[in-house]
Amino acid sequence: MTKRTTIILLSGLLVVIVFVIFSAFYKKNDVTSKWNEVVLYQESSNELTNYTLSFVGGLLTIKDEVIGGMDVEMSEAEVYEKAEEFKTKKEKLALKVGEYSDYRIKQNKELYKITVPGEKGFTYTLEKVAPRKFMGEDGIGYTTSSFTD
């Protein structure tokens, strides 16, 4: 065997080893399948949102059902101004209401990063603060009846 052949074989072996290590690490951190049948409910009070994140049947569904109203008398101009402020604040939030079949959840210690790829995709990070409680990157708290680990 020539020196060149040996180098080529060793290089190929090194590529395979790196691939195997990377694949094992990637799969170890990917907890998407473990979250099947998990539903997170927003528990913290927030004037803008009332999120539900549902991970069921390979589909991530994000709903926002804002509850309540304002019992304050306002002029029509004030109503339009408040509506515009509300819209501006909502646009800045990381979560996007909808259904997503292409998503991943990766765990790094107590952090869970949800990634939805694509043009309208987003990332959202949850921190586990108790066995069935999470805090979103935006300060919104969630609870679930399921254990995620």
Same domain, 62 and 19: no
**Overall pTM surpassing 0.95 (yes/no):** no
Whether residue 4 lies inside any domain: the answer is: yes
Are residues 43 and 22 part of one domain? no
* Residue 38 and residue 20 share a domain: no
∠ CA 40-63-35, rounded to 5°? 35
Same domain, 72 and 118: yes
When divided into structural domains, the chain yields a total of 2
Q: What is the pLDDT along the chain (149 residues), one digit of tens a residue?
A: 688 777 776 676 666 665 555 544 445 699 999 999 999 999 977 768 899 999 999 999 999 987 555 556 778 888 778 778 877 777 778 899 999 999 999 999 999 999 999 998 999 999 999 999 999 999 899 999 988 77
Could you tell me if 39 and 55 are in contact, meaning their C-beta atoms sit under 8 angstroms apart? Answer: yes
Looking at the fold, whether 61 and 13 belong to one and the same domain comes out as no
- Containing 143, the helix (H) or strand (E) segment is strand 141-143
Same domain, yes or no, for 41 and 22?
no
Considering the domain architecture, whether residues 19 and 42 belong to the same structural domain is answered as no
Let me know whether 19 and 81 are in one domain: no
Please give the single-letter amino acid code of residue 100.
Answer: Y
Query: Is 148 contained in some domain?
Result: no
Residue 123 included in any domain = yes
Say if residue 81 is in the same domain as residue 107: yes
Residue 63, token pair as written in the block = 């709903």
Distance CA 113, CA 30 (A): 10
Q: What are phi and psi of 31, to 5 degrees?
A: -110, 20
Whole domain around residue 9: which residue ranges? 1-30
Domain membership flag for residue 135: yes
Asked if residue 90 and residue 19 are part of one domain, the reply reads no
Q: Looking at the structure, do residues 131 and 83 belong to the same domain, yes or no? A: yes
| Strands 38-42 and 59-64, bridge-based pairing | unpaired
